[in-house]
Structure 1
């Protein structure tokens, strides 16, 4: 039987899947009334909104209008806080990473803090669904006197559905520099093996984990207060090295993780609290 031209063309040309692309940039300036917007750019599925607050800081809400990411999607966020300014960055909701058919979803974040500026990087949790693949990079440049509070939390599957997402994959790279000199680096990889998920020295069966980092001269001075807030019989610990205060937390689910980290973030953020979206 002869094939039609349409059938031949359809088999010979690969189908290009539609992918989400997003780029959002924001920069601040400092003036008599506190931190104000200097510039804002948004492209693709990346959107940035500036809610009204009673703070001297500028709060920016990062939104992925695609509703989540899957293999081949890319999202890029860039933010710059001018000298003496205070910029708070959060997300509208948890970022969802869905099942991939092969490629990875990529998220790149770049933050720059000028002299004596402060950045609060406070996105809500990232949820990794079954068979998802995420490659994430966070690059931060701090000028002299600049300070930082950053949190990244990851949930493996949805609590309400009883998912464990045991084959989810994650590559996470952090690089933080002060005046061009590397002061903090970490690399985490989740390959979806049983050893990672169940090993007593790794996730130990937990489905939620978070890192909270504060870089400021008062890091060591805050350590005792932070340790007083750590509940007993939980998998959470804090340490301070120089001007870095680092907290690592493990929890059986997302709700338990929030209960652990919310009081800590509130203590360490530049404004002494969390964005309202964390409480909605």
Structure 2
């Protein structure tokens, strides 16, 4: 009888330890376009997520929004969800106030789910600042884009493994990033990345190849010309760079990859490509978010 009680107590303790604890934050935003202006008409948040008031540094057609994580970073057990909806013809740029941080795990994983719905004629630029994954972190991000015909999405993800400025490397933990773009029930692009920590994967040419940063930029909305693809490659090769990069054509867009050691290097290249795509698709130059300069 005592043995049964002991087993039951241990089982209950084990199950309790697996129940996620920590922040369960959420963000729900809706943008509409009316009379040449994009407005944020619905803004529902739950801590630690928050959004600043809208900015219009390039005119009323494009609404800039800055997302804040008021707790400073994610830990094991945290669950964050973001739902962004752009109504027809709305144009929005969303970034983050600072680099995101995923701290060493307490045994549980940290997870973020992002759902983006972009209706016909709308254009979303999803441009978060880098994510720093600390040694020992266990993190997964799932991002799904529902893209209507004649809608466009440009998104990037810049991830640094370990606090490399302090000499930290990603020797323990796990990172997963799942991105899917769908249109009317058909997949346009599915990208699943997994990086288990450890010396082997850090140094492998099929992993980090000794570099602390990987990054991806994806543009989907319309076919890109050979000229744009060539120009995107020239933008990389025209300057002395330390990292590695590649550009691949998609059915309705392109994807750019980076592996290296400099956030500034990859963001400058991505910004050049963003400018190229902005000019070719909407005929307007980019305006960098002010928060990037802080």
> What residue number does 2:56 align with?
53
Alpha-carbon spacing, 1:272–1:196, altered in 2? closer, same or farther (3 Å): farther
Aligned partner of 2:251 in structure 1 is 242
2: CA distance between counterparts of 1:214 and 1:201? 24
Q: Quick one: structure 1 residues 209 and 39, their matched pair in 2 at CA, closer, same or farther if it must change by over 3 Å?
A: same
The corresponding residue for 1:261 is 270
Find the counterpart in structure 1 of residue 37 from structure 2: 34
CA contact (8 A) 1:177 1:184 kept: yes
The answer for the alignment partner of 1:171 in structure 2 is 176
Q: Deviations over 1:32-81 (max 9, x none)?
A: 13211221101121111134223321111111111100100011111011
Name the counterpart of 1:183. Answer: 188
Q: Among residues 103, 116, 124, which one is paired with 2:108 in the alignment?
A: 103
Secondary structure in 1 matching 2:231 = helix
CA displacement at 1:219 relative to structure 2: 2.2
Specify which structure has the higher proportion of helix: 2
How far apart, in 1, do the equivalents of 2:42 and 2:159 lie? 30
Q: 1:117, 1:262 → 2: CA distance?
A: 20
State whether residues 113 and 141 of structure 1, in contact with CA within 8 Å, keep that contact through their aligned partners in structure 2.
yes
* Alignment pair present for 1:206 and 2:211: yes
* Equivalenced residues, count: 269
Aligned to 2:230: 224
CA contact (8 A) 2:188 2:251 kept: no
Write out aligned runs for 1:14-93 (5 A).
Answer: 19-55=22-58, 56-93=61-98
Distance in 2, matches of 1:183 and 1:175, equals 8
Q: How many Å separate the matches in 2 of 1:260 and 1:167?
A: 30
Normalised by the length of structure 2, the TM-score is 0.85
CA distance in 2, matches of 1:36, 1:169: 38
Q: Report the alpha carbon displacement of residue 18 of structure 1 after superposing the two structures with TM.
A: 5.8
- Give the SS at the match of 2:77: coil
2-structure distance, mates of 1:256, 1:70? 28
More displaced stretch, 266-275 vs 119-128: 266-275
Shift of 1:238: 0.5
CA distance in 1, matches of 2:54, 2:290: 10
Give 1:157 deviation, angstroms: 1.9
Cα distance in 2, alignment partners of residues 30 and 81 from structure 1:
9
- TM superposition score normalised by structure 1: 0.89
